[in-house]
């Protein structure tokens, strides 16, 4: 598993409470890193964001 393939949780401004959450699921032959920039935009808008790694994806560079 590469560093960019790890799942992540982005919280808006470090908040522990938020109004809405967003789940980002990558496509075939992809990894969570490919959606992180989008996740950061959602977090900047006040949403909690989780980027997940599907089994068997993102395990090699």
* pLDDT digits 0-9 by tens, 26-57: 888 778 888 999 999 999 999 999 999 887 76
Find the domain containing 15 and state its range: 3-52
For residue 26, being part of any structural domain is answered with: yes
For residue 59, being part of any structural domain is answered with: no
For residue 61, being part of any structural domain is answered with: no
The pTM of this model reads 0.77
The dihedral formed by the CA atoms of 48, 41, 35 and 18, expressed in degrees to the nearest 10:
0
For residue 57, being part of any structural domain is answered with: no
pLDDT of residue 43: 93
In total, how many domains does the chain have? 1
For residue 29, being part of any structural domain is answered with: yes
């Amino acid at each position: 598993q590469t560093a960019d393939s790890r799942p992540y949780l982005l919280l808006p401004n470090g908040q522990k409470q938020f109004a809405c959450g967003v789940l980002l699921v990558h496509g075939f032959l992809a990894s969570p890193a490919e959606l992180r920039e989008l996740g950061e935009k959602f977090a900047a808008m006040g949403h909690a964001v989780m980027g997940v790694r599907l089994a068997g994806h993102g395990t090699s560079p």
